[in-house]
Amino acid sequence: MDSTFRQIPPVVLQALKADLLDGDRVALGRAITLIESKRADDRKQAGLLIDAILPKTGSSIRIGITGVPGAGKSSFIEVFGTMLTASGKRVAVLSIDPASSKSKGSILGDKTRMETLSKNELAYIRPSSSGTIPGGVASHTREAILLCEAAGYDVIIVETVGVGQSETVVKEMVDYFLLLMLAGGGDELQGIKRGIMEMADHILINKADGANPEAAKRAAKAYRNAVHLFPAHEAGWTVPVATCSALEKTGIKSVWSEIEAFRQLTAGGWFEQNRRLQRIQWFHALVRSALELNFFGKANIQEAISEKEALISARKISVRKAVQELFES
């Protein structure tokens, strides 16, 4: 943790806020580092900062992107993000990886993954934060979204990193959820959790290039038929299923058109309602998380739980009794 942010005095916080609202990237980076800090004094400062910038948040479109391993998420974001910046939009890319630790060098990793975008002045790429608090990573990313919005970013992309862990978490913090797939026999789906496909607001078959366009079209058709079998989208949105190639830069523009159509369809209704609901859910999740941290954080509770788990696993004790004993002790 950067020591600059320890016991940051109010006057510096004011400056940080001002620089952030000016769209200063260094200030944005510092602000995100501050909200990720676990130090009590930093957390207090982070709270003040977030509350101060709150009126300046909410104006972006928040896009979640997930995909099966090998679907080419990074290349897609590189091309998609570059296209958006070309039309003057400011684009922030955040990532969630519950398993990651910043010290493992994911900053360098991310810069390499999206080489063009990372050099683009209108783009901001922030690697995933490490987090040990349950719900902590997600909460940090939600706050990072707010900071990016305050810094004037128009499009916030939140991508899942790693496999099968964070799709639901991302879904709950974005307006629009894009699923990147590949044409193929189905084996490549190992990496995504069951239930994710139905959550997508948009399905995109990438790598429709080289010898693949026909296979990608066939896959798109199959997914399109499947989507009709799913329960309807709450917003009355028809989930688009299309092909694209990040390599050949085809099918990328229409992704943005669809997102604009979605925003228009849901404006003044589902869009705001969904964000309100997401804030309330976030609040509840954090309250539960704080409550559990307090309880499960105690060494004797952890020990008692492990003991009970072993007994329950071996069917030597009922779940009811295990819970009773846990709360009696």
Residue 108: count other Cβ atoms within 10 Å of its Cβ: 10
Give yes or no for residue 190 binding a copy of itself (CB under 8 A): yes
To a copy of itself, the closest distance from the beta carbon of 68 in angstroms equals: 9
> Whose Cβ is closer to a copy of itself: residue 256's or residue 282's?
282
To a copy of itself, the closest distance from the beta carbon of 302 in angstroms equals: 12
Give yes or no for residue 15 binding a copy of itself (CB under 8 A): no
Give yes or no for residue 324 binding a copy of itself (CB under 8 A): yes
- Give the integer Cα–Cα distance in Å for 309 and 304: 9
- Give the integer Cα–Cα distance in Å for 196 and 199: 5
Binding to a copy of itself (CB under 8 A) within 90-129 occurs at: none
Do 174 and 64 contact (CB within 8 A), yes or no? yes
Among 142, 144, 170, 266, the residue binding a copy of itself under the rule CB under 8 A is 142
Do 137 and 96 contact (CB within 8 A), yes or no? yes
- Indicate the SS3 state at residue 33: helix
- Give the integer Cα–Cα distance in Å for 71 and 159: 13
Give yes or no for residue 283 binding a copy of itself (CB under 8 A): yes
Among 194, 210, 300, 329, the residue binding a copy of itself under the rule CB under 8 A is 194
Question: What are the angstrom distances between the C-alpha of 74 and each of 11, 119, 145, 161, 179?
Answer: 39, 15, 19, 10, 13
Give yes or no for residue 210 binding a copy of itself (CB under 8 A): no
Binding to a copy of itself (CB under 8 A) within 36-55 occurs at: 46-47, 50-51, 54-55
Residues 20, 21, 23, 24, CA torsion sign? negative
Give yes or no for residue 290 binding a copy of itself (CB under 8 A): yes
Q: Name the nearest CA neighbour of 56 among 15, 30, 93, 23.
A: 23
Question: What are the angstrom distances between the C-alpha of 113 and each of 21, 125, 222?
Answer: 28, 10, 30
Among 18, 108, 232, 267, the residue binding a copy of itself under the rule CB under 8 A is 232
To a copy of itself, the closest distance from the beta carbon of 189 in angstroms equals: 4
Q: Which residues bind a copy of itself (CB under 8 A)?
A: 46-47, 50-51, 54-55, 57-58, 139, 142-143, 146, 186-187, 189-190, 192-199, 222-223, 225-226, 228-233, 276, 279-280, 282-283, 286-288, 290-292, 295, 305, 308-309, 312-313, 315-324, 326-327
